[in-house]
Amino acid sequence: MSAPRSDLAPEPGLSRREMERLQREIADAAVFEDDFPFDPAAITNPLEASANAAASDLETPEAAERADPPIVAGVDQSFLDDDRALSAVVATRAGEVIERVHAVTPLEIPYVPGLLAFREGGPILAALEELSVSPDILLFDGSGRIHFRQAGIATHIGVVRDVPSVGVAKSLLCGEPAAETENLPAGTRVPIEADSSVDAPDGTLLGYALQTRQYDSPDRYINPLYVSPGHRVGPETAADVVEALATSYKLPEPVRLADSYAEEAKSLVEPETDHEN
């Protein structure tokens, strides 16, 4: 994958002030509305893909001539030790895995809330370089516009690669839910709006708390995902895509697969050893 905005790539050697300044440049360059050539309704999870395949004999000639479904890639990270990250990317099309790649790179700075891209962005860019296919959209285990400076890791990498991207976070980094987010029915969306912690006018729609699945029992519940546009995707489409890719798991399938592959790939990496004379 090429990097049209390599000048904006995260550099861990910057000072905190420089990192935050770069994030503001990223936010200015980001497009938080739909800007892509594919039909998001063509994005399906494995269950829907199987159902569609079973009904393929009933397709009209016009349906058979439709373009190939978009390639959706999930991105996640694992850690081999305190000094190395393993970044995993799983590319899917119509619910089927078409490529899995990973890269191992050094970790140069500790985790700092709001600066995740400077710790994990380099490793992720290295893994994306290993892909032979070109994803139409990237899904990240991390934030997009729901970020103090509207530039979470999904936005940062999306802008650097100029690829539509979506952030899928398990916890809320900043912003204010417009309603209660506890024990929501599956399919519920609660707007996440900018407040004083975000570099945006109060009330700006940053994304959604999205309930992809829920227990039937009243005694326990699943927390929602916090979905936000990364780049070239609007908030509604970001939520639509994540919801369409959810199966029986909380995470959308490409991200879940990337998480699983990140753990699996650890066994393929030799342990780091110190060489002493």
Instruction: Please state the φ and ψ torsions of residue 191, each to the nearest 5 degrees.
Output: -60, 140
Strands (E), the chain: 71-79, 84-93, 96-106, 137-140, 165-169, 176-177, 189-193, 205-210, 225-231
- 183-186, long-range: CB < 8 A, 24+ apart: 183/214, 183/221, 184/209, 184/211, 184/214, 184/221, 184/224, 185/211, 185/214, 186/211, 186/212, 186/213, 186/214
SS3 226: strand
Q: Is 76 annotated as a binding residue?
A: yes
Angstrom distance (rounded) from CA 158 to CA 154: 6
Local structure of residue 246 (DSSP, 8 states)? B
Angstrom distance (rounded) from CA 176 to CA 179: 9
Binding annotation for Mg(2+): 76, 141
Binding annotation: 76, 141
